[in-house]
Amino acid sequence: MQGINIVRRPLTETEIDLLMEDIKLYPDLIYVKKSRFQKYKDAFILEEAGSFVGICAVYETGRWVKLGPLVFLRKHHGKGYGKLLLTKIVSEYSNVNMFISSTNIAVQKIISRLGFKEIAGYLYLPYKMIYFLIGHLYEHIHWKLITEFIRKLILMKRNSRKFYIKTV
């Protein structure tokens, strides 16, 4: 694909505003606070012809990396950008274990093809990763997340969440 660029940088305020508006329509992404997007100082950003397309945050914790949220602007869905971005990230982190979860069937197919194995859930992760995820949840839980979860649960069809790891 020509004109595609993957860079590591913070999101701009304009990009964050675009994501905040778009994720209201995502059944597979509950809610991400604007302040959380502002904290991503070294996220993987995919651009096309200089324009923002999507993001994948990466959390490093020892020998483990948690991927996500993985979010693309709605107008760019189904164009293969998720595969490009995830392939780049997996190649850059080939020397560590990785974890990702998703309800998005397209994402589930991509990560399965990239060598991730489905696991039964969070409780089947190593203790260090479980501890990280509990802290991550505690840091990001808020009323808007809870109300958006309930709204999307009632009004939108979501697929079941699946959990994947890739170990070295």
| pLDDT above 70: residue 30 | no
Which pLDDT score is estimated for 1?
65
- CA 75 from chain centre, in angstroms, equals 17
CA 4 – CA 20 distance, rounded (Å): 23
How is residue 104 written in tokens? Answer: 């998005």
**Largest alpha-carbon pair distance within the chain?**
42
Q: Where are the domains of the chain?
A: 4-166
Using pLDDT thresholds of 50, 70 and 90, give the confidence band for residue 62.
Answer: confident
Q: What pLDDT, in 10s, does the model give residues 75-118? A: 998 999 999 999 999 999 999 999 999 988 999 999 999 999 99
| pLDDT above 70: residue 58 | yes
Which pLDDT score is estimated for 28?
66
Which pLDDT score is estimated for 39?
87
End-to-end CA distance of the chain: 30
Which of 1-5, 30-34, 86-90 comes out lowest in average pLDDT? 30-34
CA 110 – CA 145 distance, rounded (Å): 26
Q: Please report, to the nearest 10 degrees, the dihedral formed by the alpha carbons of residues 110, 113, 116, 120 taken in order.
A: 70
CA 108 – CA 99 distance, rounded (Å): 12
Which pLDDT score is estimated for 31?
63
| pLDDT above 90: residue 16 | yes
Using pLDDT thresholds of 50, 70 and 90, give the confidence band for residue 167.
Answer: very high
Superfamily grouping for domain 4-166 = Gcn5-related N-acetyltransferase (GNAT) (3.40.630.30)
0.75 exceeded by the pTM? yes
Using pLDDT thresholds of 50, 70 and 90, give the confidence band for residue 70.
Answer: very high
Which pLDDT score is estimated for 145?
67
Q: What pLDDT, in 10s, does the model give residues 106-165? A: 999 999 999 999 999 888 888 888 888 888 777 777 777 677 677 667 776 767 889 999
Amino acid of residue 137: L
Amino acid of residue 126: P
Contact 80, 73 (CB under 8 A): no
